[in-house]
Amino acid sequence: MAAMACSSVMELGSVTCQTVGNASTSGAGRSENAAMTRSVFLGSSSLGFYKTAAALVSTPQSRKNSQNVEYQRRQVVMTSDFEKTNPYAEELKRTAAYIAAPGKGILASDESNATTGKRLATVGLDNTEENRQAWRELLYTAPGLGNYISGCIMFEETLFQSTRDGKQFVDVLKGQGIVPGIKVDTGLQPIDGTDGETATQGLDGLGERCRRYYQQGARFAKWRAVIKVDAEKHPSSTAIIENAHGLARYAQICQANGLVPIVEPEVTLGDGDYSIERTAYISERVNSHVFRFLNEYNVILEGILLKPNMILPGLDVPTPAPEEVAKYTVRTMLRSIPAAVPGIHFLSGGMSEEEATLNLNALQAYGPTPWSLTFSYGRALQSSTLKIWSGKEENWNAAQERLVALAKANSEAQLGKYTGPHPSPGGTRILQQLRLGGAGK
Amino acid sequence: MSAYTGKYADELIKTANYLATPGKGILAADESTATIGKRFASINVENIESNRQAYRELLFTAPNTHQFFCGVILFEETLYQKTLGGKPFVKLLEEGGVVSGIKVDKGTVELAGTNGETTTQGHDGLAGRCQQYYQAGARFAKWRAVLKIGLNEPSELAIQQNAQGLARYAIICQENGLVPIVEPEILVDGSHDIRKCAEVTERVLAACYKALNEQHVLLEGTLLKPNMVTPGADAPKVTPEVIAKYTVRALQRTVPPAVPGIVFLSGGQSEEEATVNLNAMNALDTIKPWTLSFSYGRALQQSVLKTWGGDKKNVPSAQKILFIRGKANSEATLGKYKGDAASSGTSESLYVKDYKY
């Protein structure tokens, strides 16, 4: 079992397996606060999933005798049975810990073809495969990106694409020390009988797709659930339960097939003047449902990442100061996220590029926290990058520099060390309409 | 709409934080009249009020022990009792920096259709009682839910009922100024291994925190009183380090960091075991966003009771034992216990099958 787990780790870097029981130091982690150092038992390694020479793998459990196996079948399979029988358990924990490393975050570039088309259109580009490929090549080959980005979420088409020179994108990313990830949901569907609330689809055949993505080199996945909020009526209980269930089932299937699930319960920034307290309360409630279901579905929490919204009031309320956002956001996380989760990667969800960085930086003042507070940004890393490129070869380098500068600013913010000036100062909220009925195209 | 933000919110948070002070813990002295009767019977002491008063006075006046206890849980009768000199126990404890707490549940009843599973009662008139207890000086409360491990237990029904009961109790307490200690005890009875106990503990705690969220309980103003994760009483023993790892991992997976303190029950562990296991947890190098401390009844009182034997002249030596155990557990909350409080009697298992109290 140990050998199998090791060979399923990516080939880059030398990974040797040691049995648990060696009290080796797990290196970096949060060295600035000894109380936060993760133990060997939790199987962390923030020294680099690819570069570490001491990946810690638990000794495989011996097979139970037939009598015990029979006994087990009569019981509900619970968390630690799943951990025992899941050959990916240790790898999941290591990958999650690597992605949640201090000073790092995730680049979310998993826009579906339809959504990508809309973005390309803003700079006058047609939605062709060639243009989509060129745009992602610009992002992934940006020199030095791997200093600040530990994971990159891709859309299915992109996972199988290559650079113009023929190098697979997954290899480009691995070369930068960036773990490839894959969006696996197939879009939003309305929940009939509700007023504009949605469920996320994509469970059918998910196991099979996960296996294919794992083969290709993906090691984590993402599924976006969207919860609509207003001052009084939304979200309904139905919407919360439906979305929490979808997330938990998705997470379980991913873990069974070797992918770390990013659990994304987005309480979406919307119209209205609902207060920041309202968003905080709804987010706590949603998270509570999500974690109850994750427990029910035997998801190994050390092997997931969370991608929540920061706590913001409705669009008709003036943008709050970063300190206020930080206070409510950290309080919400403390009230609802168990310590076993290694990293919380906030979505940018409409915040301007600068706002996203300032808010992230402000969060760190409320630490230390048991999970890292970091980013998984799409629009907040790509908006101005795209504008600078505008499809023109001569702008290629400048666009890449912008991307890396944005990533660096957010990396500094993750460490609580961001001072500015921001590469894209000012800027308005970057909002997008919720697309319904997508089948992941 | 959010977690409780009424008039007691700040006080609840302050009290809960105080009850989670590292280096201190809680003395659980809330045995009901019937239960203390059983204890007294084991040392041939008559179960009359004056004896109950004398025993509790022994505990609360033990010299130099107040430094180890941030709180004491009392039974209703005791809340209103005084020392022989006429000072209310609550006042005496307060002067020593010890907060008085009160057991508010009314025991367990069986759930029909289950294999002996129970739920806990006590919600009726609870708000009024909490107000009275607050008047009398109590600032925290305790409610014990009980679950057991078996082939098909705990059932979903038992988990839900007990989680809901705890959550309802918790919010009523907070509305009336008392910090609720949430106690979902999973009995140690059985021959299951430690893994099974971990699974069940995680499942139960996840359900509890979901229910607490539903009821708008202010987590920063609560404490958790769980069992440690151990093998069943009839299963082979494991080392304190193993207990520590499984226990802390279960808590990391279920207890939100907003909860300031986790105070373990001792269950059927011997006095020494309870100390050593707590010490191992605090010595463990891992993420622990809450204080890990004790709320021990039997594991603090067993030897004290035996030494007293109902005899006035044994009071000083009995009090000395409370000091020794108090100090040992205080050190254990800091991961600094050296094992020097072990002596004859303290390793005696206090396990009672199908424990009811």
Give the span between the Cα atoms of A306 and A342, in whole angstroms: 9
The residue of chain A nearest to residue B150, with distances taken between CA atoms, is A75
pLDDT at residue A440, as a whole number: 57
DSSP symbols for B295-333? EESHHHHHHHHHHHTT-GGGHHHHHHHHHHHHHHHHHHT
Of A36, A81, A280, the CB nearest to B2: A280
Q: Is A289 on the interface with B (CB under 8 A)?
A: yes
The pLDDT of B48-68, averaged and rounded, is 97
φ, ψ of residue B224 in degrees (nearest 5): -110, 140
pLDDT tens-digit series, residues A286-318 = 999 999 999 999 999 999 999 999 999 999 999
CB atoms within 10 A of CB B157: 14
Q: Which residue ranges in chain A fall short of pLDDT 70?
A: 1-81, 433-435, 437-441
Do residues A155 and A112 make contact, with C-beta atoms less than 8 angstroms apart?
yes
Do residues A334 and A369 make contact, with C-beta atoms less than 8 angstroms apart?
yes
Report CA A81 to chain centroid distance, whole Å: 26
Give the span between the Cα atoms of A43 and A340, in whole angstroms: 11
CB contact under 8 A, B257 and A295: no
Residue A317, C-beta contacts closer than 8 angstroms, at least 6 positions apart: A273, A274, A275, A276
Lookup: tokens for A401? 């520099």
Alpha-carbon torsion A40, A41, A47, A51, what sign?
A: positive
Q: Looking at the annotation, which residues of B are catalytic?
A: 183, 225
Q: What is the 3-state secondary structure (H, E, C) of B273-286?
A: HHHHHHHHHHHCCC
Average pLDDT in chain B: 95
pLDDT at residue B146, as a whole number: 98
pLDDT at residue B140, as a whole number: 98
pLDDT at residue B180, as a whole number: 98
Q: Is B3 on the interface with A (CB under 8 A)?
A: yes
Of A35, A79, A333, the CB nearest to B199: A79
pLDDT tens-digit series, residues A132-177 = 999 999 999 999 999 999 999 999 999 999 999 999 999 999 999 9
CB contact under 8 A, A41 and B245: yes
Do residues A173 and A161 make contact, with C-beta atoms less than 8 angstroms apart?
no
Supply the ipTM of this predicted assembly.
0.81
pLDDT at residue A437, as a whole number: 63
With H, G, I as helix, E, B as strand and everything else as coil, classify residue B194: helix
- What are the residues facing A346 on neighbouring strands? A375
Helices (H), A309-377: 322-336, 353-363
- What are the residues facing A266 on neighbouring strands? A226
pLDDT at residue B1, as a whole number: 56
Banded model confidence at residue B298, pLDDT cuts 50, 70, 90: very high
- Tell me which residue of B79, B273, B295, B100 sits closest to B182, measured CA to CA: B295
pLDDT tens-digit series, residues B9-25 = 999 999 999 999 999 99
CB contact under 8 A, B287 and A38: yes
B286, B288, B290, best to mutate vs chain A, most A CBs in 10 Å? B286
* Type and span of the H or E element at B214: helix B194-214
Q: What pairing do the DSSP bridges indicate for beta strands A179-183 and A188-190?
A: unpaired
Give the span between the Cα atoms of B175 and B178, in whole angstroms: 8
Give the span between the Cα atoms of A225 and B189, in whole angstroms: 42
φ, ψ of residue B141 in degrees (nearest 5): -135, 170
- Tell me which residue of A175, A118, A94, A65 sits closest to A432, measured CA to CA: A118
B208-246 burial code (b ≥16 CB/10 A, e <16): bbbbbbbbbbbbbbbbbbbbbbbbbbebeeeebebbbbb
Give the span between the Cα atoms of B156 and B158, in whole angstroms: 6
The pLDDT of B308-326, averaged and rounded, is 97
pLDDT at residue B112, as a whole number: 87
Give the span between the Cα atoms of A315 and A323, in whole angstroms: 18
Q: Is B14 on the interface with A (CB under 8 A)?
A: no
pLDDT tens-digit series, residues B66-91 = 999 999 999 999 999 999 999 999 99
B152, B229, B253, best to mutate vs chain A, most A CBs in 10 Å? B253
Give the span between the Cα atoms of A369 and A438, in whole angstroms: 37
Q: What is the 3-state secondary structure (H, E, C) of A386-433?
A: HHHHCCCHHHHHHHHHHHHHHHHHHHHHHCCCCCCCCCCCCCCCCCCC
Residue A421, C-beta contacts closer than 8 angstroms, at least 6 positions apart: none
pLDDT over 90 (residue B5): no
Q: How many CA atoms lie within 13 A of A345 on its CB side?
A: 34
Do residues B134 and B140 make contact, with C-beta atoms less than 8 angstroms apart?
no
Give how far Cα B123 sits from Cα of A33, B107, B171, B173, B302, Å.
44, 11, 11, 10, 31
φ, ψ of residue A336 in degrees (nearest 5): -135, -10
By percentage, how much of chain B surpasses pLDDT 90? Answer: 92
pLDDT over 90 (residue B105): yes
φ, ψ of residue A436 in degrees (nearest 5): -110, 155
pLDDT at residue A193, as a whole number: 86
B214, B245, B287, best to mutate vs chain A, most A CBs in 10 Å? B287
pLDDT over 70 (residue B53): yes
